[in-house]
Amino acid sequence: MINQNNWDSCFYRNDQQAKIAFISFGAEPVQDLVGFKELYFVSLTNFDRDEEYFQQTFEDLEAAMSALNQKYSHWTFIDPDNKTASGCGSCEAH
């Protein structure tokens, strides 16, 4: 499950559809041009992350994690830092 400790490294993977779902981080300027607003993006892409199928923007990390876990938690959870996993499904080779 994606949580506060792993949202920036873990993701969900669907081998049958060759897609992954993950959270990324960004920002946009605020209207007064003095600062910026943090944004979190729940994205669905191909394995190489060079073809995007879907992206939803959230202003709150909790909301992004909830949406990602609710929609994709039935896919395979991938933790690249898990050294007990191996092979393509773990992304250990990448």
What does the domain layout of the chain look like in residue ranges?
11-90
Rounded to whole angstroms, the Cα distance separating 26 from 38 reads 6
Query: Is-contact 30 36, C-beta < 8 A?
Result: yes
Q: Supply the pLDDT for residue 83.
A: 73
pTM over 0.85: no
Q: What is the pLDDT along the chain (94 residues), one digit of tens a residue?
A: 999 999 999 999 999 999 999 999 999 998 777 889 999 999 999 999 999 999 999 999 999 999 999 999 999 999 998 877 555 554 444 4
Amino acid occupying residue 44: L
